Every structure is written in C-alpha cells, then in structure tokens.
Amino acid sequence: MTERLEISFSTFDAKPEATTVVLAGDELAMGERTRALDKRTDSAITEASGAAEFHGAAKSSIEILAPRGGAMRRLIVLGVGKASEAGELDLINLGGQAMGQILARKGKSATLMAELPGLGGQKAAQAAADMALGALLRQYEFSKYKTRRKDEENGHEKDGLIRLVVQCDQPEKAEECFARHRAVAKGVMLARDLVNEPANTLGPLEFAACAEGLSASGLEVSILDEAAMQERGMGALLAVSQGSARPARLVVMQWNGAKSKRTKPVCFVGKGVVFDTGGISMKPAAGMEDMKGDMAGAACVTGLMLALAERKAAVNAVGLIGVVENMPSATATRPGDIVTSMSGQTIEVLNTDAEGRLVLADVVHYAQEEYKPRLIIDLATLTGAIIVALGKEYAGLFCNDDKLANELCAAGEATGDKVWRMPLSREYDKLMDSKNADMKNIGGRWGGAITGAQFIGRFIKDGLPWGHIDLAGVAMDSKRSDTSTGWASGWGVRLLDRLVSDNYEKTDK
C-alpha cells in the first residue's frame, strides 16, 4: 500500500496552485481571506456567482476560468450551506466534495482554501485537518492493474493529482491534528486495498503475509497454520478450508499501548473468506465475482490494527482474523456433515454456504481463551439477509450489552459508519437447535441475519460484552459517498477507531 497523494498545510499567504477551491456559505457568505481573493480578482467570485445564480447552497459549485488578477487557472467556489452548523463529519464530507471537484479537472497539484466564515483559532485548524481527511479518503482509487495508465518509469498514473496544499490560519496546528487522521486513513486504505484485491493474488497465505508486514508499524503478529489449528481442535474453521488447495491461516495482531500490559485488551475478530463459492452448496454464477470481498470483516480488523499502531493508541488491543477459502472439491465439507468446534460444541453443517459463522465460532473462542478480553467485537459479511433488512445505509449490530451497543451507535453517527441494532432472543436461538448435534449452521428462511448472530453468540462466554456486526451491505459494492466512490469502502475502520478513542483509551480497567 502506497500513499499517492501528498497533503501539506500552508498559510493563506502562500501562492495558490493552478486549481484552487474556496468555500462559500449560504447567501454567498465568505471568510475574510476569500473576500480578499474576490477583491484581488476584480470581484470574479461575486460576479460569477451572480451570473450563475450561485448562493453557496450545500454541494453546489461554480468554476471560474483564469480569473483576472489571480495566479490560478481555475477557481472553484464550493457551497457549504450553513457553515456555522457544520460538525466534524460535515467537514470531512466537505473535504471529499472539494476533492471530487479537483479530480474532475486535470492537474497534478491543487489548493484548498480551508476557510469557513466565522471559524478561527484551534477550531479552524481542526476543521482544516478534517477537510484534508475527507480529501484524502476521496482520492482513493484502486488502479493497480490498469497498466495503460501507468508511467513506465515509476509506476504512477500518467495523469492525476499528486499534491494538495490546504491553506489555513495555523498550518502547524492543522498538521498536528491531521497526523491522527492520516494514521486512520492508512487503515481505511489498507482495508480498501485488501477487499479490492482479486482472490487469485490474495489467498490466505498472501493475506497472512500482508498482516505480518504490519509488524513494521509496531504490531506483534503471530500466525497459526493448519497443523496448529488442528492441534487446538478448530474443526469448525478447518471444515470451511478443507475443500481448497490453499491452506487456512489464523492471524493474530496485538497492539500494547496501554500504560499497563496487564490491562485487559479490547478484541476484534474478522471473517476472512478470501473467496466464497458456497462450497458444495454452491452459489449462483451471477455476481459470484463479488465474493472476493467476503473477507471485508478481516480487512476491517487489519486496517483498524494498523491505524491503532500508527497513531500510537493508548490501549491494549488484539485483532484476530480467520483466513480461509471456501471451495467445492472431493475433500470439501458436505451438507449433513457434523464437525466439532474448538469449544467442544458440535455443529451439523446443513449448508456449506453458511461458512463464515463456522470460522468465527473457532476464532472468537480462541480469542477468549488466549487473551481474556474486556470485550469482543466480530465483523463479517455474514448474510444477504442484512442487506434485505437495512440496505446499504447501515450495518447490522447484534449486541448482548447495552453500554457497548450505545458506544458503537454513537461512534457510527460520529464517523458515518453507521450501525443499526437488531434483536437477539431465545426464540431466535431455538431455530439453531439440531436433532443430530448441539446446533446446526442455518436457522431456516426467516430472520437469517439474526440466526447467524445467534449462532456466533453460542460461542461467547456468559458475562462478556460482545458485539457482532454484519457489514455485508456496506463493505463491498457499497453506496457511494463524498469520501468513498469505489467498490470497497473500508467501512468499519473509522467506526472502531472512534469506539476505542472515545471509550477505551487511557484506562486501567
């Protein structure tokens, strides 16, 4: 993963780049520096706004070519609506909108005058950093395999933005605020890269190697191979991988940033099915190519752990990912087979396409046995049923603890990675009972996302706060937004980083 866009901060006195974006609020309200630019360009902004009937409404814009008295070739005025009411997420999205305007024009460099009417001091510096984050997230493009657009000498795009200068009153403070954003953005982009990568180049071994490489950022990474998992009795996870020629891996990433190493860690578990054919219960051919993204939960956990390490989070955290491939073959698990999980509970596999919960069953049990966490959150592209219920706006949250659920919901609203709490109850749990084993891996046609969560819940120890996030609708082929326009969104990295930051750093509990 390489960061293509260089973002720097400067004062408003610096010479602007050829393409420059300025901001205007409702009724064409402008900051002091923008008004000065308007005056310097012989009222180009005012005159063009009048001609275009532009009043600064949110997401509206005008473009002024070669304004008089200015050094810019293009001056883009972006409407922000009621600037006084803009919160953190609004500012991040505003930066994404500005980047969208910049990317629509050719040029290798651009300036964003991050000035909002009536905003100054530390708040202005933070606002500039927030806008820069939005711009950084928006510029992401997965073009690794587009050879026609590459420069043969350096492998970069022949055309495209490589430098963004963000002008603000206190560039040093803005840079300080942006350092944390940059770390989190690295995690988001890593998650996007992993989900976008085709399965022929990202198998379980390659995924594990990628995670192992994050040790350079300070993570402690250990990997269990199939022999080690077999020794620990992980029959559920291995039942998924046994049809593939590519062996499974369990990857553990640890970050010890709390003051005391004895502080119980927060624990995150990700489903990492690098490709899901459905196994013997094979999926329909139409759309099966999207199943390269069935490891988005693992990608989120990996990106999160990188973000925590990069920003030196004051928390002890463990990220675990079960990385497998689900393929049909002579050695594949058959419908009707009964397997024994690491917990000792037996599972009747009635549908081999309900495989993610088998992976998670063993990984969450291992996490509890080895790390005695204070809480555990698992993430998985588990069911299509959650998309039927929530579409592509929210991920489904299933949680046995009201405090943790409220913290996740609050973090979702703050970051835009939104979750909606779904029910758990004994009535649904009964649907997982089997006549031939302790449980079966499907619960019937109705409430599929709920029964999937209930299944995982059977492997959570009593009293341990646990959350299950079904992100099937938001992590891949996701809804386009101001900060994400590609197939993979990197959903969840910012959500979980915010959860940790707001609730679990700098404590000795």
Assess whether 196 and 164 both reside in one domain.
no
- Would you place residue 509 in the very low, low, confident or very high pLDDT band (cuts 50, 70, 90)? very low
Block residue for tokens 């997982």: 432
Q: Is the pLDDT of residue 75 over 90?
A: yes
C-alpha 406: how far from its chain's center?
Answer: 20
The most distant pair of C-alpha atoms in the chain lies apart, rounded to whole Å, by 82
Assess whether 276 and 149 both reside in one domain.
no
Report DSSP letters for 25-71, one per residue.
EGGG---HHHHHHHHHTTSHHHHHHHHHT----TT-EEEEES-TT-S
What one-letter code names the amino acid at 279? G
Assess whether 204 and 348 both reside in one domain.
yes
Assess whether 193 and 104 both reside in one domain.
no
* Rounded Cα distance, 164 and 59, in Å: 20
Our answer to whether residue 146 is catalytic in this structure is: no
Q: Is the pLDDT of residue 4 over 90?
A: no
Assess whether 192 and 154 both reside in one domain.
no
Assess whether 226 and 286 both reside in one domain.
yes
What one-letter code names the amino acid at 392? K
Q: Which of 171, 196, 228 is the last residue of a domain?
A: 171
Look at residues 234, 317, 224, 232 and name the one whose alpha carbon lies nearest to residue 269.
317
**pLDDT tens digits, 454-492:** 999 999 999 999 999 999 999 999 889 999 999 999 999
Q: Which residues contact 153 (CB under 8 A, 6 or more apart)?
A: none
Q: Which residues contact 243 (CB under 8 A, 6 or more apart)?
A: 279, 280, 326, 327, 328, 329, 331, 332, 333
Instruction: Give the model's pLDDT for residue 507.
Output: 55
Please pick, among 105, 246, 283, 421, the residue that the annotation labels catalytic.
283
Assess whether 467 and 363 both reside in one domain.
yes
Our answer to whether residue 357 is catalytic in this structure is: yes
- Would you place residue 118 in the very low, low, confident or very high pLDDT band (cuts 50, 70, 90)? confident
Assess whether 316 and 247 both reside in one domain.
yes
Assess whether 130 and 275 both reside in one domain.
no
Q: Which two tokens stand for residue 313?
A: 């989070």
Residue 314, in any domain of the structure? yes
Instruction: Give the model's pLDDT for residue 117.
Output: 80
Residues 244-258, mean pLDDT to the nearest whole number: 98
- Would you place residue 420 in the very low, low, confident or very high pLDDT band (cuts 50, 70, 90)? very high
CATH number at residue 286: 3.40.630.10
Helix axes 296-310, 493-503, angle to 10 degrees: 50
Report DSSP letters for 205-221, one per residue.
HHHHHHHHHGGGGT-EE
Q: Kindly report the backbone phi and psi dihedral angles of residue 89, in degrees, each rounded to the nearest multiple of 5, phi listed first.
A: -65, -35
Residues 183-202, mean pLDDT to the nearest whole number: 98
DSSP 316: E
Residues 47-57, mean pLDDT to the nearest whole number: 96
Phi-psi region of 247 (alpha: psi -120 to 50; beta: other; left: phi over 0): beta
| Exposed e or buried b per residue across 448-467, where buried means at least 16 C-beta atoms within 10 angstroms of its C-beta | bbbbbbbbbbbbbeeebbbb
The kind and range of the H/E element at 76 are: strand 74-81
Full domain range(s) for residue 115: 6-171
Mean pLDDT of the chain: 95
Q: Which of 124, 148, 171 is the last residue of a domain?
A: 171
Residue 508, in any domain of the structure? no
Rg (CA), the chain: 25
Q: Within 10 Å of residue 118's Cβ, how many Cβ atoms?
A: 12
Residue 90, in any domain of the structure? yes
**pLDDT tens digits, 127-168:** 999 999 999 999 999 999 998 755 544 444 556 899 999 999
- Strand ranges for 233-307 from DSSP E: 249-256, 266-276
Block residue for tokens 């579409």: 391
Assess whether 162 and 190 both reside in one domain.
no
* Rounded Cα distance, 255 and 379, in Å: 19
Residue 418, in any domain of the structure? yes
What one-letter code names the amino acid at 204? P
* Rounded Cα distance, 375 and 63, in Å: 51
Residue 412, in any domain of the structure? yes
CATH number at residue 165: 3.40.220.10
**pLDDT tens digits, 439-451:** 999 999 999 999 9
Tally the domains of the chain.
Answer: 2
Residue 280, in any domain of the structure? yes
Contact between 382 and 449 under an 8 Å Cβ cutoff? The reply is yes
Assess whether 87 and 217 both reside in one domain.
no
Q: Which of 171, 197, 223 is the last residue of a domain?
A: 171
Assess whether 402 and 376 both reside in one domain.
yes
Instruction: Give the model's pLDDT for residue 119.
Output: 75
Q: Which two tokens stand for residue 339?
A: 């397997």
- Would you place residue 298 in the very low, low, confident or very high pLDDT band (cuts 50, 70, 90)? very high
Residue 176, in any domain of the structure? no
- Would you place residue 290 in the very low, low, confident or very high pLDDT band (cuts 50, 70, 90)? very high
Instruction: Give the model's pLDDT for residue 1.
Output: 47
* Rounded Cα distance, 484 and 134, in Å: 9
DSSP 288: G
Contact between 187 and 31 under an 8 Å Cβ cutoff? The reply is no
Q: Which of 1-10, 345-354, 356-365, 414-423 shows the lowest mean pLDDT across its residues?
A: 1-10
Q: Is the pLDDT of residue 346 over 90?
A: yes
* Rounded Cα distance, 28 and 40, in Å: 17
Read off the pTM.
Answer: 0.96
Q: Within 10 Å of residue 155's Cβ, how many Cβ atoms?
A: 10
Please pick, among 173, 357, 494, 498, the residue that the annotation labels catalytic.
357
DSSP 108: S
Q: Which of 186-190, 257-261, 330-334, 496-500 shows the lowest mean pLDDT across its residues?
A: 257-261
Residue 131, in any domain of the structure? yes
